[in-house]
Structure 1
Amino acid sequence: MSGTASAWNRAWAQALDRLESDVASAEALLLEEHMLRELPKFDPWTPPAGLGPLPLDMRPRADAVLRRQLEVATKLAAAMSGAAMHSLVIGKMVEDRRDPARPSYVDVAM
């Protein structure tokens, strides 16, 4: 492998490493362990300048990363929907201070 091809493969390997790291962080958000630590800082991935086309031998790895990203996106959307529904239910259970006209029930049999 020539020096240029080797540098090209290294650049792509580093780019895929970053994408895999981002997916792993998103996967960790879906686990309960994320509650025990701070959320990861949002740092969107951008392709490095001059990266060029994907080397053919890295296609399986890139496809695997894409599959993981799509799975995580689906799971995160479901988790967000669930959190929104949970928030709605909790909001209905919490006393609304803006509505003081709520009925009160008092046991006067004593």
Structure 2
Amino acid sequence: MTSSSGAWNGAWSAALDELELDVAMVEAMLADEHRHAETPPASLWKPPTDLGALPLELKPRADEILTRQLKAAQEIARRLTANRQQIAVTTRIETGEAVKRPLYVDRAM
């Protein structure tokens, strides 16, 4: 392996490390529902533009990261749907604040 090939692999490994940290943070946030309030918004990962093609020996790692990203995205979508359903149900719950109803009926009259 030449030094330029080693540098190329190293640059791609660093890029995958950064991407993997992003997905690990999302997975941790999904695992701990209370943590999201304390976690600052993530900066968007931008693919490196100067690296060229992904080295073949890093493809299995990149595929595994992609699988984890897709799984995390599905879980986020599932939770968003559940939140929308919960909001729809709670908006239909009558709290008694909007409509004042008598608490008792006076039958003495």
TM, length-normalised to structure 1: 0.82
Q: Aligned with 2:28: secondary structure?
A: helix
Which of the numbers 87, 101, 104 marks the counterpart of 2:101?
Answer: 104
Aligned match of 2:15: 15
1:84 equivalent to 2:84? Answer: yes
Cα deviation 1:30-55 (Å, max 9, x = unaligned) = 22x24145123231111123111000
Q: Aligned with 2:101: secondary structure?
A: coil
Identity %: 37
Aligned match of 2:58: 58
In structure 1, runs of 5+ residues without a counterpart are none
In structure 2, runs of 5+ residues without a counterpart are none
Cα deviation 1:6-49 (Å, max 9, x = unaligned) = 11011110111111111111112222x24145123231111123
Q: CA 1:87–1:54 in structure 2 vs 1: closer, same or farther (change >3 Å)?
A: same
d(CA) in 2 for partners of 1:103, 1:51: 67
d(CA) in 2 for partners of 1:106, 1:75: 44
Cα deviation 1:28-83 (Å, max 9, x = unaligned) = 2222x241451232311111231110001001101101111111111110011111
Q: CA 1:96–1:67 in structure 2 vs 1: closer, same or farther (change >3 Å)?
A: farther
TM, length-normalised to structure 2: 0.82
d(CA) in 2 for partners of 1:6, 1:96: 69
The aligned length equals 106
Q: CA 1:91–1:47 in structure 2 vs 1: closer, same or farther (change >3 Å)?
A: same
